[in-house]
Amino acid sequence: MKLNETERKQRIDRFEGNVRLLVNALQHLTSEIQPHKSGLPVLTMGFYNLLLRSKQEYLVDLFLQGVPESTKLVLGKQGFTIADLLSLPRLSASKLSEHTVYIDCLEYAPKEDGDWRLYVGSATGSYGALQRWLNYLCPSKEKFRHTNMCQKKGRRVHLRSLSHYGFDPEPWLAVFAESIFMLYLGTVDDPRATWTTWAGNNFCHDLLYSTVEKVRSSSNLDQPLRRGLNSTWSLAQGWRGGGFKPGTKCHRCGLRVDDPSAKKKVRFYHTDPSQPSASDALCHLCYDYKRRMGKDRPDATLHYNRPPRIDHGTPCRNCGRVAGDPSLGKMRFHYTDPKEASPSNVLCNTCYDYKKKRGTDRPARLFQK
Ligand SMILES: [Zn+2]
Ligand SMILES: [Zn+2]
């Protein structure tokens, strides 16, 4: 069916508007929780801090960046149906390998009730949805609840992707998006009602379901289309916070968050806590200086900007003597250029001094006997 321009725009606006209301409600809820006193957790500390500190637009924008227009047109339609969900286009294998949020419209066997159930999931592994979906479709040893549900006799799995976020997004993004879609589609449902035997699970509890209800009711959403198969939302079990990508450097002094030579652990902060990107870090000293003095740490005080320590066993690239060799006593070894801190750049103290004084390498006749 071809949509006219007005209808398209209405649907997109409706979808984005609802997402904004959901994020707003989540942030409002977070501001009311005392995380350590709330008993069973509805949010991990990671999500608690993220929701508390982030600007709403930051969360909404990142979420929407991964949502294709096709998804907005389907979910933005008033009273969308199962058929609408099934009309979501299939993505290329390359897009499906990204961090993905997907929906399974699970068709129950005719002898059960032949009805549909909805499940929202996310895939952040190396092959994204492709890898995740393989487990649903093929007999596998995986014991996840949803995998088992998919493989009951006579049921049919209908998988569609809802959004995709590239191969290296913010570490929380797909998990966060998963919960937004769970809320949007109303797929979080208390499974205890249908349990015949106790299958205890810390993530199933009344507070969680009442919270989900509260957040949903503050938006402009339809009633859930069908019963959901998500027994919890990913905000309670997914990302636990922390969050700088390996190799990220303090953008003032250059200290790496995972500096292999760091003697003690240094705390890192986001430059702007309201937009906590995992590749934007300030080390404790630079952060603290800026907070106290209102300006960047001056160059002269950037102590952390030292090259990594030289490991024992690394040879001098000129004379071949080895760092840590007991016969050298406590001789220091250096990098020729502190900015090029690689093992192939290492000089023993003698060769280093020689080079510093004369500008050339210590000649071999001085150390070869
Ligand atoms: Zn720093
Ligand atoms: Zn040497």
Domain boundaries of the chain, sorted by first residue: 5-91+163-236, 243-306, 307-369
d(CA 84, CA 333): 67
**Ligand 2 geometric centre to CA of 346 (Å):** 8
Supply the pLDDT for residue 239: 79
Strands 268-270 and 156-164 come out as: unpaired
More confident residue, 46 or 174: 174
Share of the chain above pLDDT 90, in %: 50
Supply the pLDDT for residue 21: 95
Is the pLDDT assigned to residue 196 strictly greater than 80? no
**Ligand 1 geometric centre to CA of 272 (Å):** 15
- How far is residue 76 CA from its own chain's centroid? 26
pLDDT per residue as tens digits for the range 85-112: 999 998 999 999 999 999 999 999 999 8
pLDDT per residue as tens digits for the range 13-54: 999 999 999 999 999 999 988 766 656 678 888 899 899 999
Name the closest ligand to CA 303. 1
Give all strands (DSSP E) within 139-246, no chain letters. Answer: 156-164
Provide mean pLDDT across the span 246-271.
83
End-to-end CA distance of the chain: 88
**Ligand 2 geometric centre to CA of 323 (Å):** 10
Supply the pLDDT for residue 316: 95
pLDDT per residue as tens digits for the range 290-302: 889 999 888 777 7
- Top mean pLDDT of 40-49, 156-165, 191-200, 232-241 is at 156-165
d(CA 366, CA 166): 57
Mean pLDDT of all residues belonging to the chain: 88
Class of domain 307-369: alpha beta
Between helix 45-53 and helix 5-32 the angle, nearest 10°, is 110
- 323 with 348: CB under 8 angstroms? yes
**Ligand 1 geometric centre to CA of 302 (Å):** 7
**Ligand 1 geometric centre to CA of 267 (Å):** 10
d(CA 160, CA 351): 64
Distances from the Cα of 85 to the Cα of 90, 222, 335, angstroms: 11, 15, 60
**Ligand 2 geometric centre to CA of 311 (Å):** 15
Supply the pLDDT for residue 301: 72
pTM: 0.77
pLDDT band at 149 (very low <50, low <70, confident <90, very high): confident
Supply the pLDDT for residue 5: 92
Supply the pLDDT for residue 115: 92
Supply the pLDDT for residue 75: 96
Supply the pLDDT for residue 135: 84
Is the pLDDT assigned to residue 368 strictly greater than 90? no
Supply the pLDDT for residue 306: 62
Supply the pLDDT for residue 207: 84
d(CA 288, CA 53): 18
Supply the pLDDT for residue 302: 73
